[in-house]
Amino acid sequence: PVRMLRIRPEHIKQIIEHARREHPLECCGFLVGKDNEALKVYEMSNVDKSRTTYLMDPREQLQVYKQMEKDGTEIVGIYHSHPHSEAFPSPISTISSSLILLSISLKTRTVGLSQSDRDTIR
């Protein structure tokens, strides 16, 4: 079945701004919502402090999970930036992700999407 993730333009803008603020390092975060619709973007700290990898701060993740429990929402996607390359999923990004992964490339000004060939974004 085809999965569609609905993301509002203001959320894409927020993600791009997050990537620009963190440049030259990778940024990362969660798309949280319901029924494959992103309702909120949670910008996370990249504790790797790397240009090529990210690791979300575990304490921040815990806070997001607590808030989702209160709100009755769930993670519908994960995003991260590629400050110096194209927006494509790395092998590590796709190992076991059942979530949609959004990649933003500052270099090519493109957005990449992965989870499977059947997923779409709008």
Number of domains, the chain:
1
Domain that holds residue 114: 4-121
CATH number at residue 78: 3.40.140.10
Helix/strand/coil (H/E/C) assignment for every residue in 2-47: CCEEECCHHHHHHHHHHHHHHCCCCCEEEEEEECCEEEEEEEECEC
- What is the amino acid identity at position 104? I
Tens-digit pLDDT profile for residues 15-74: 999 999 999 999 999 999 999 899 999 999 999 999 988 999 999 999 999 999 999 999
Q: Evaluate if pTM is beyond 0.85.
A: no
Give residues with Cβ within 8 angstroms of 99, minimum separation 6.
75, 76, 77, 78, 115
Return the higher-pLDDT residue of 104 and 113: 104
